[in-house]
Structure 1
């Protein structure tokens, strides 16, 4: 039942990037917002991790397209720069192929020269890629900023404008093969498919825009880490009168006559709400937050049959001394294609694996004691649908990752410098962070799970619920998660205004003001 005079109450589940962004927007618009987070800190899988005197981003490690974040804060009546200091990265990252190290930047002339030096004859392909992807992104962006809730959303002008450039039936790898003839260079522009937890040989060609966005708009490091941006969102929510409840898990969404009516918290408390925003992990939310048998489209069996991203094995290290690596570095397997296939198709651990190293202490001295470094190591691995016993394998994988690090010249002997260490497996992602299947990047972005075929922003099975985060349209990754929050907050507001408009029209009629069930 929606009240006619009081401010509508919105309960948001999950203080990850999507839940925080939606709660911030709705609180700024005057809604009575309560945000419930199971963990002790905000941020979800992108929150802060502390090991002794060392601090880490648990998940995401950089910002892309910061103007989208600026727009988000502006909509909430704030400037992100009043809360967070953003540092552009130059180079973007170092990409290591044995002894060959490629360090691209947003300076296209400089990057083209670097490509010609390392991969002769490919500079023109790079310039062609940048020019063609600019047009493609301009056409795709409108599709990421509005909902796809019915088939009718496909027959709009922006879809027809984008269609010739979408490349949705092609693959990321095939698209990049049109520009570059050196395999290492192709990998340099296709590894971003991992941000979606997918193989570039399977990921729809639409997503070549990921590497373009990096090269065009750059990557940024917030002082204190990505988690600092999410903490700032929590601060803005509270400034607008909203409430952020940490260590307050939600056990169940209360549903009455097909309408969301509130929450049952894990501590037994019941919370009334007019509307609910689900920012929790999609698979976990669908299988845990509703009474068994209530959902028909998203039954546990149907959730299990969906395709999910790969997972990640993580190693967080507090290291004595400085580390002579760039802020971001990717160290490719000798046989990268085989490594990706083992992760995404065969479901086995690779003997020759690629790793990503985040070394933020090279520019941010707030994350470790003076003269020391916080080092974050990520290895893509199969999600929990693979037949891997992580309770048995975790120690061996941790040892392998440490040995792999010590093969890097700048990290030789690093094991003897480690003061703090934490290994995090796909099983830990599931059990400690409530990530379904340990799929760190949420639902996969195959054609059967994009746009209208992805879970809709307005939840279909229970009225009064909206979804945000990587498991709904437009998808995973911080920029698109923020867009999902903007879309869902707008849809909720429009729905609420329409409901209250009906009350106004019916004023004076018999029963007016008694509330309209939705």
Structure 2
């Protein structure tokens, strides 16, 4: 039974942002008996996990890979719903097609024997090492899951004996590519198992070795396509949240978080002032802090500090509704340019556009006929590019000038994976540049994946789920621990919800994940 410190009315929580993390928190808090209001500045729920609809065509705005549904399945079950009933999904096989500019292709499949055969066509010696990669990363994931399920609020959380025992397995001193060199000698194969670092907006040559678990997750637990796209997931979450009593107000941008005596006591929107016992922020962290909370009220995360942090890459997006369908092109295709390392240098160091960029295409209509009118299909085209480097007028890329040229280059690149004659077939088109991510979605520097996941910005060094600068304020989403990616964001929702309920002296009405003990950690590590 819920305990509420003697209050006669339910606790009231305001959630800023109806992205996947905010909606998951809303469901969990509502289940615990909390009165929840979600404020969303846009006209639809989902944030970057929402849907663009144009002329009968539907496109995911952001995420298109749905991985590791276990976490969200548990949140749905907690709330009294069945994810697989509410959001039908197709497990993809092949998962995606990798095309290497240096030569060769890899049709990635979760079938181990077929995957070994596919690797052998490029590097026979590496095919024999697939089992070893899977075994080691199965152990790595099992070992690290407890840390993905627990808050990290100080360096002391790192100093536990169990965590120290895990260091040889996690090898934080190695990059992802260095870690993969233990398994695969051919750089193309390593790229095939490390391009997933782009889910975090990072280079495999800079990304910590821990994230080899991303490709492992795909092969062990599957790559899924929700019918209607990933936006259908957040739409279902919003519907369920409303059924559970959550108020969701759209077209309601938050202008300010009210802070009194160092604690969040409510928010101000363009139309309302709402009091709250706690405020949860599900928005781009740096963008939200700079907009909603005066600089002097933030001790640790000041504007000056935020400006010095490392941020992920951005993306140049093309959403194309076309006549006909490219039936021979896979649901997901990743093209890895021959000059992949130079691409990354252009993005991360030189902050300029590449002449031969890598790219990703989702051709989802080969799987899902609901996304386009009959006889038509959708193409989602993503090219990783530099984030914005300064204030307006001082960025290294002028997107108003560069967009037409880069668009033409993108069409030329598509020919390398068999997508030709696109322009003539376009019925609807939308482009989003880093400048648009910044202006339309309030992403600081247009960094699509928020703060980078470097070692100096992970665990307790990321903004905390229980926000350290302001009491009664909590964070959820890719900008806080554990980080970016839908399954990890859903895990951040569980962490944040548990902390908030703990602080309010409210018993959760779901089975909580108990932090693993040091003895258990030692056992896992060994």
Instruction: Please give the range of the TM-score, normalised by the shorter of the 2 chains.
Output: over 0.9
- What is the CA–CA distance in structure 2 between the aligned matches of 1:125 and 1:409, rounded to whole Å? 28
CA distance 1:498–1:104, shift in 2 (3 Å): closer
Partner of 1:133: 137
1:115 is aligned to: 119
CA distance in 2, matches of 1:125, 1:24: 43
2:206 is equivalent to residue 206 of structure 1: no
Aligned to 1:8: 11
Sort the Cα spacing of 1:409 and 1:437 in 2 relative to 1 into closer, same or farther, 3 A. Answer: closer
Whole-angstrom CA distance in 2 between matches of 1:393 and 1:310: 17
Answer with 94-103 or 47-56: which moved more. 94-103
Distance in 2 (alpha carbons) for counterparts of 1:113 and 1:394: 41
Give, in whole Å, the separation in 1 of the partners of 2:113 and 2:308: 46
Match of 1:26 among 14, 20, 29: 29
Partner of 1:68: 71
Out of 31, 45, 49, the position equivalent to 2:48 is 45
* Match in the other structure for 1:502: none
Name the residue aligned to 1:291: 294
Q: Deviations over 1:447-476 (max 9, x none)?
A: 110001111110111110110000000001
1:260 corresponds, among 264, 272, 275, to: 264
In structure 1, what is the Cα distance between the partners aligned to 2:506 and 2:410?
55
Per-residue deviation at 1:3? 7.3
Unpaired stretches in structure 2, ≥5 consecutive residues: 390-394, 508-526
Alpha-carbon distance in structure 1 between the residues aligned to 2:432 and 2:473: 32
1:330 & 1:83 partners in 2: Cα distance?
A: 30
Written as runs of structure 1 = structure 2, the 5 A alignment for 1:25-424 is: 25-98=28-101, 100-267=104-271, 269-323=272-326, 324-385=328-389, 387-405=396-414, 407-408=415-416, 410-424=418-432
For residue 242 of structure 1, report the CA deviation from its aligned partner: 0.6
Distance in 1 separating the partners of 2:396 and 2:282:
29
Unaligned runs of 5+ in 1: 500-518
Mean Cα deviation higher: 181-190 or 373-382: 181-190
Paired residue secondary structure (1:474): coil
Is contact 2:32–2:506 with CA below 8 Å preserved after alignment?
no
Partner residue of 1:512? Answer: none
Partners of 1:158 and 1:55 in 2: CA distance: 47
Map 1:430-441 to 2 at 5 A: 430-441=438-449
Question: Partner residue of 2:437?
Answer: 429
How far apart, CA to CA, are the structure 1 residues paired with 2:433 and 2:112? 38
Distance (whole Å) between structure 1 residues aligned to residue 218 and residue 185 of structure 2: 21
**Counterpart Cα distance in 1 of 2:386 and 2:145:** 30
CA distance in 2, matches of 1:355, 1:341: 15
Please tell me whether the aligned partners of residues 2 and 8 of structure 1 are also in contact (alpha carbons under 8 angstroms).
no
SS of the counterpart of 1:315? strand
1:158 to partner: Cα distance: 4.2
CA shift for structure 1 position 133:
0.8
For the pair 1:470 / 2:494, whether they are aligned, the reply is: no
- 2:499 maps to what in 1? 491
1:404-459 C-alpha deviation (Å, 9 max, x unpaired): 22x23631212111111111100001101111111001110111100011111101
What's the CA shift for 1:2? Answer: 8.1
Q: Does the 8 A contact of 1:2 with 1:274 survive in 2?
A: no
Please list every run of at least 4 consecutive aligned residues from structure 1 whose deviation after the TM superposition is greater than 4 angstroms: none
